[in-house]
Amino acid sequence: MPQHSRFLDRTTAPHIVSLVAIAGLSALTMNIFLPSLPAMASDLGVSYDRVQVLVSGYIAMTALVQLVIGPLSDRYGRRPVMIGALLILLAASLVCMIATSIEILTVARMLQTAVVAGLVLSRAIIRDMVPMEEAASMIGYVTMGMTLVPMVGPTIGGLLSDSFGWRANFAAIFAAALLVLFLIYRDLGETNRQKSGSFSQQFRAWPSLLASPRFWGYTMASTFTSGAFFAFLGGAPFVGGTLMGLTPSMLGLQFMFIAAGYIVGNYLSGRFARRAGIDMMMLIGGIVALVGAAVPILLFAQGITSSLAFFAPQVVVGFGNGLSLPSTNAGIVSVRPELAGSASGLGGAISMGGGAFVSWLASRILSEETGAMPLLLVMLGCCILALVAIGLLRLAPEEER
């Protein structure tokens, strides 16, 4: 049964505003400084490949962090883990603001991954509160609201970089984290009513998750669906900033295409997931994303290689992802409801690990000679593999949800 919640009352389950805030901060931390990557490389005297690790390395580190966040929250509760993660983010952001070398910046950036607790725990908290189909709907609404924050993140980041330099992006993260910490301290009531007996017990439960065909189906669908987005994050700053010569502020504006599509898809997922079922939402979303990934390839093949031809079709990719991802995430945490935190962390770790790889791959295969086409092909491949995973999931035997 859903748990009752009152805003800014930590004796009750958290308000949806708080769930949006912790998930949104996690997304903001990942993408606000993307338009500044070329400027950061120039300022620190390193190649674009070297600063791009702040994206692909960050995504890889979030995979490792999620392996711990889920079990920790199942053992000790959602509230103390979330507060601890925000304190680490605050300290790491201060170091990023004053870092004078790429090595120190990289270490501090990896510590910022503690904020991924916001993504892991928002899903687990929702599953604590409501059943699976309703969870997919609620995750859709939370993700829709969350997307409002990072949708403008790269735009704000680009403007901050143009006006005050790239370090201002990390100052913005620090300020946002401080605000969210206050909100969570006041509002996040504990929702984990069935804490596990020990930390190691959660790791011993992994084999039951890994042995589940449906867990793998949802996780692979999530991995490849989000893989198209992570490939975009890895390669788009190079395409827009280096190949197309866009300024940080103009490049930041281009990221609104994929984010705008994503928020509309999340809204429709929130409206229809309970009625249509999560498997159908995943299938429809996967097909839409595939169409979106194919359009710029066709345009580039015709010699239409403007920034609009590259960035505008991403609205369709984002729309498809927005339809699909809330349902893949609801499926992951519902295969074994009693292990919602561990399932969210393990499934998220696998998805983020795949995302880190495609983000790194997208940045490595791009050059001024190749143009943007390799990135577009990686995104298309991810969309195809997502549909394969969804198809295999529909053939898997039903399991306890």
- Mean pLDDT over residues 254-266, rounded? 87
Question: Does the structure show a pLDDT above 90 at 65?
Answer: no
Question: Does the structure show a pLDDT above 70 at 349?
Answer: yes
Question: Does the structure show a pLDDT above 60 at 399?
Answer: no
pLDDT at 132: 60
Residue 400 domain-assigned (yes or no):
no
Residue range of the domain that includes 353 = 16-395
Question: Does the structure show a pLDDT above 90 at 153?
Answer: no
**Euclidean distance between CA atoms 229 and 358, whole angstroms:** 9
**265-307 pLDDT per residue, tens:** 988 887 887 788 888 999 999 999 999 999 999 999 999 989 9
Question: Does the structure show a pLDDT above 90 at 381?
Answer: yes
Measured CA to CA in angstroms, residue 24 lies from 70, 120, 355, 383 at distances of 18, 12, 18, 24
Specify burial of residue 92 (Cβ count, 10 A radius: 0-12, 13-18, 19+). buried
Residue 9 domain-assigned (yes or no):
no
Residue 1 domain-assigned (yes or no):
no
- Mean pLDDT over residues 241-259, rounded? 87
> Which of 103-112, 118-127, 333-342 bottoms out in mean pLDDT, i.e. has the lowest?
333-342
Question: Does the structure show a pLDDT above 80 at 323?
Answer: yes
Grade residue 3 by pLDDT with cuts at 50, 70 and 90: low
pLDDT at 400: 44
pLDDT at 8: 72
Mean per-residue pLDDT of the chain: 85
Residue 268 domain-assigned (yes or no):
yes
If one counts the domains in the chain, the total is 1
Residue 46 CB: number of other CB atoms within 10 A? 15
Residue 6 domain-assigned (yes or no):
no
How many angstroms from the chain centroid is the CA of residue 154? 14
Question: Does the structure show a pLDDT above 70 at 180?
Answer: yes
pLDDT at 2: 46
* % the chain with pLDDT above 70: 88
Question: Does the structure show a pLDDT above 70 at 364?
Answer: yes
> Which of 25-39, 106-120, 184-198, 229-243 bottoms out in mean pLDDT, i.e. has the lowest?
184-198
> Which of 88-92, 105-109, 353-357 bottoms out in mean pLDDT, i.e. has the lowest?
353-357
pTM here?
0.76
Question: Does the structure show a pLDDT above 80 at 234?
Answer: yes
| DSSP code for 318 | H
CB 40 within 8 A of CB 157: no
Which of 398, 218, 386 has its CA nearest to residue 293? 386
Residue 401 domain-assigned (yes or no):
no
**Euclidean distance between CA atoms 70 and 341, whole angstroms:** 4
**Euclidean distance between CA atoms 374 and 378, whole angstroms:** 6
Grade residue 212 by pLDDT with cuts at 50, 70 and 90: confident
pLDDT at 376: 95
Residue 54 domain-assigned (yes or no):
yes
303: left (phi over 0), alpha (psi -120 to 50) or beta: left
Question: Does the structure show a pLDDT above 70 at 201?
Answer: no
**18-43 pLDDT per residue, tens:** 888 888 898 889 888 888 888 898 89
Question: Does the structure show a pLDDT above 90 at 66?
Answer: no
| DSSP code for 2 | P
pLDDT at 150: 62
CATH of the domain at 195: 1.20.1250.20
Question: Does the structure show a pLDDT above 60 at 401?
Answer: no
Contacts of 4 (CB under 8 A, 6+ apart): 12, 13
**81-95 pLDDT per residue, tens:** 999 999 999 999 999
Residue 251 domain-assigned (yes or no):
yes
pLDDT at 1: 37
Choice between 9 and 156, residue whose per-residue pLDDT is larger: 156
